Structure 1
Amino acid sequence: MKIINNITLLLIYLNASLLVFPDKVKPYLIFSLLLSIVFRKLKLKTKQKHSNQKLLISLGFFGFLLVSCFFSDNFYVGYKKLESSASLIIFPLIFYLLAGDTQILNTKSLEVIKKMVIFSTLLFLIFSFSYFYITEPYYTFKSTLVHYSNLINIRNTGYLIHPIYLSIYVGVSIVFSLELFIKNKKYVFFILSLVLLIFMGILNKKGPILSLLVIGAFYLFRNKLNLKKSIYLVPVFLLLILLIIYLPKYNNINTFSELKDLIAQKSNEDSSTGIRLQIYDCTIRNISKSPILGYGIGDVNVVLNNCYLNSNSLEIQKNYNTHNQYFSIWLSAGIFGLMAFLFYLFTVFKIARKQDLKMLYLLNLYFILNMLTENILEREDGVIFFSFLINLYFFKNDLNDD
């Protein structure tokens, strides 16, 4: 049993580090973890504690998406979308089977998982940046800074990742680093958080940065009486703001300036904020036409593209999604699918508060905020990371510290 436990732990740690593995390898690591846990479960002689209610809540909204696939005209498109989101089923099952299992999920292993997330993210950032700086012809250090966020999405063959999703990884790694520093007083994690902050500034993506600032402010508010713990966060977030302002940008354009006048941005074809506002306009108009049942997960893109055809500035060939996870679920599975998803997120908050799982609370809040501007559950880079972390904490019933 010790060997099986070690293999299971190793696979959990590898799944926490999926960012550094090629895209084709990731599914095999996830399924290997599931198989090892099922095999281990069959070998166990003692009964473990399982929460069937938690599992049903975790899978509920995915069930609505599955049903919506069958009344989609584009069934194959819907099937492929569900296939990309398969970790929404697999990770709840994995951690459901491990619920309350202190041989695998204990304080020590959870700290290792946090460190694996931190170091794998740093490894990806440093090596990819160094690779572009060394191999891109005519690139200076400054031009690598400027173009890094685009290069990881077009030149990183086998490891392609959108800069927004990489920023989400960096944001979670910063949270983990600061938590380990505050908890263990190891200054190496404080230094690592500063390095991660620099990359957050280089990527310069509004959603993840604003979400990080919000949960940082939330943490400060909740710990206002514990100044020794909170005081370190102030210079960290001041540094982030300075990086946003002064790091070199493409064409010297800081996208945060778009937030000054949201109304004016709607007609700006070159503004990411303007494009999003036009997408939201199309999305809301289509939701209003079928708010109860939606359109089916396979037909959402067709519905949106038909709306974009009538737009003067949106390019249909870019196949924009809703850029809002809640709108996407509403369009796909109607109001009942959205309610099931919101109930799931509310339940995560409820469990986090009841069991005093501060990290689960912060992670859930961070993903919820990022879902306001991104369809995190519809891209493998986002859904795997979300499902792994949230279900890891959601099902660890017997561990009241994090």
Structure 2
Amino acid sequence: MNSRKYILKIRNYIFLVLAFFPLMPYGILSVVTATFIFFSLISYSEKIVFNKSNYIKFLGFTGFYFTLLISVFYSDDYGHGISILFRLLPLIIFPYLAIFHSYGLSKKVIENGKKCFLIGSFLLLAAIYFIAFQELKVVGFDKLFYWATLTRSVKSIEFLDLHPNYMALYFALSIYLLIDSKKLITVLKVGLIFVLGITIILLSARAAFISVIVSVILNLFLNSNLAKGGKVTLILIIIVFSFLLLRSNRYIQIGNSYKEMFKSEIISYQEEPTSNEIRVLIIKCFKKILRKDLFFGLGVGDLENRLDKCYVDSGNSFMLKKTFNTHNNYLYLLGSAGILGLLSFFHLLSASFWRALKFNNRVFLMFMVTISITLLFENILSRSYGITFFSYFMYIFYLETEKNE
């Protein structure tokens, strides 16, 4: 075996290891990611294709990052901006590998990567319920359906730095991969999907839950060639999930707190506010500080500092006890890099939707629906696990569609 084939083989194994990122502590995740990037670069060194078409693709998928980079130069907190950009590096490195280094990963390796992710997600699922059941032995198994029970189980796994909403993203994608699987019998597939769906509900991950319903309905309407068993599976998922959605006030209640969003004054909370009230407070402060800087934004290094100042000025200094982001990735990009940054990111999303539809990649389409909806409620591209989740699967889906082009 020559050295190039040996390097490619190592790279492929690391690619499969990286698929288990839901189970990795941050330190290990960083090392595995860096190792995969290193072996990808050296294995592709003689296969780089630089041409106008690839440059345009690369800028289309990474333009928003460069708007954030430019915004550092008009940020007062230059150091904080640089640290954020460093954390976001996978968002430009993975597209670089996918676009300029197309030689390497076979369809079989990519499929094995998906399987490894599924295995990792179900191992994580088992660990969560194992921990939850230890608590339920004491307080009673009827408490499983209390919203906080499973969330406490997630947060008790301290070495993984887990977040319920990010785990819900893993489980949502697992549902899509199961739907697309042709090897599992319908009964088993529906059973596994049901368990994952119930878990998303118990994690109180509203964005992921809604995105699953939207994705499944969209898939059902767009896929005219879907087999009878697949249609039955999707219809059952829609019926069960819609029933659970309608039964849960937590999911359909808009709440009086959101009415405050359309008022100009910012309330000073004397008691600890609800999560919805906190989100409204963040949005109202966001509107106040960005009023005069809408076009260019405040700079990637200054947005959080300006929000903190607004909380203090409005009598809500309790917000400084924890680090609160904008809880909306679109607002974060708008506040950091202005309209150009937001439009650049919309181009990435629209180009991805176009590729998914053009090549009839159902999982890619459902993945994009889930990401787009979740970005309305969470800054998933501000945490390492969200960045890895997005980068890894965008890399996979780009290669899948490129091989079909």
TM-score range, shorter chain: 0.7 to 0.9
Letter aligned with residue 122 of structure 1: F
Change (3 A) 1:111 1:262: farther
SS at match of 1:161: coil
Deviates more, 1:10-19 or 1:139-148: 139-148
Aligned CA-pair RMSD: 2.8
The correspondence of residues 244-323 of structure 1 with structure 2, limited to 5 A, is: 255-259=250-254, 263-264=258-259, 270-311=273-314, 315-317=318-320, 318-323=322-327
For 2:209 and 2:310, locate their aligned partners in 1 and report how far apart those are by CA, in whole Å: 30
For 2:387 and 2:226, locate their aligned partners in 1 and report how far apart those are by CA, in whole Å: 34
| Structure 1 contact 168–208 (Cα < 8 Å) conserved | yes
Residue from 27, 32, 35 that aligns with 1:32:
35
| Structure 1 contact 258–265 (Cα < 8 Å) conserved | no
Letter aligned with residue 258 of structure 1: Q
Letter aligned with residue 303 of structure 1: R
Deviates more, 1:299-308 or 1:133-142: 133-142
For 1:130 and 1:191, locate their aligned partners in 2 and report how far apart those are by CA, in whole Å: 19
Identity across matched positions, percent: 24
Unpaired runs of at least 5, structure 2: 262-266
| Structure 2 contact 11–36 (Cα < 8 Å) conserved | yes
The correspondence of residues 185-224 of structure 1 with structure 2, limited to 5 A, is: 186-187=185-186, 188-223=188-223
| Structure 1 contact 324–371 (Cα < 8 Å) conserved | yes
* Structure 1 position 226, deviation (Å): 4.5
For 2:257 and 2:213, locate their aligned partners in 1 and report how far apart those are by CA, in whole Å: 20
1:131 aligns with 2:131: yes
* Structure 1 position 89, deviation (Å): 2.2
Task: Give deviations 1:269-301, integer Å, cap 9, x for gaps.
Answer: 643223222322221232222011111111111
1:115 aligns with 2:112: no
1:91 aligns with 2:94: yes
For 1:242 and 1:115, locate their aligned partners in 2 and report how far apart those are by CA, in whole Å: 30
| Structure 1 contact 72–298 (Cα < 8 Å) conserved | yes
For 2:28 and 2:210, locate their aligned partners in 1 and report how far apart those are by CA, in whole Å: 32
Change (3 A) 1:73 1:217: same
* Structure 1 position 339, deviation (Å): 1.5
Change (3 A) 1:233 1:397: closer
The number of residue pairs the alignment matches comes to 388
Change (3 A) 1:360 1:137: closer
Letter aligned with residue 205 of structure 1: A
SS at match of 1:315: helix
1:348 aligns with 2:352: yes
For 1:13 and 1:369, locate their aligned partners in 2 and report how far apart those are by CA, in whole Å: 28
Q: Name the TM-score, length of structure 1 as normaliser.
A: 0.86
| Structure 2 contact 290–297 (Cα < 8 Å) conserved | yes
1:77 aligns with 2:72: no
Q: Who is 2:264 aligned against?
A: none
* Structure 1 position 382, deviation (Å): 1.1
For 1:88 and 1:21, locate their aligned partners in 2 and report how far apart those are by CA, in whole Å: 19
* Structure 1 position 139, deviation (Å): 4.4
For 2:281 and 2:175, locate their aligned partners in 1 and report how far apart those are by CA, in whole Å: 32
For 2:359 and 2:231, locate their aligned partners in 1 and report how far apart those are by CA, in whole Å: 22
* Structure 1 position 24, deviation (Å): 1.1
Q: Who is 1:151 aligned against?
A: 152
For 1:124 and 1:177, locate their aligned partners in 2 and report how far apart those are by CA, in whole Å: 16
For 1:341 and 1:117, locate their aligned partners in 2 and report how far apart those are by CA, in whole Å: 26
| Structure 1 contact 282–304 (Cα < 8 Å) conserved | yes
Unpaired runs of at least 5, structure 1: 248-253
Letter aligned with residue 191 of structure 1: G
* Structure 1 position 137, deviation (Å): 8.8
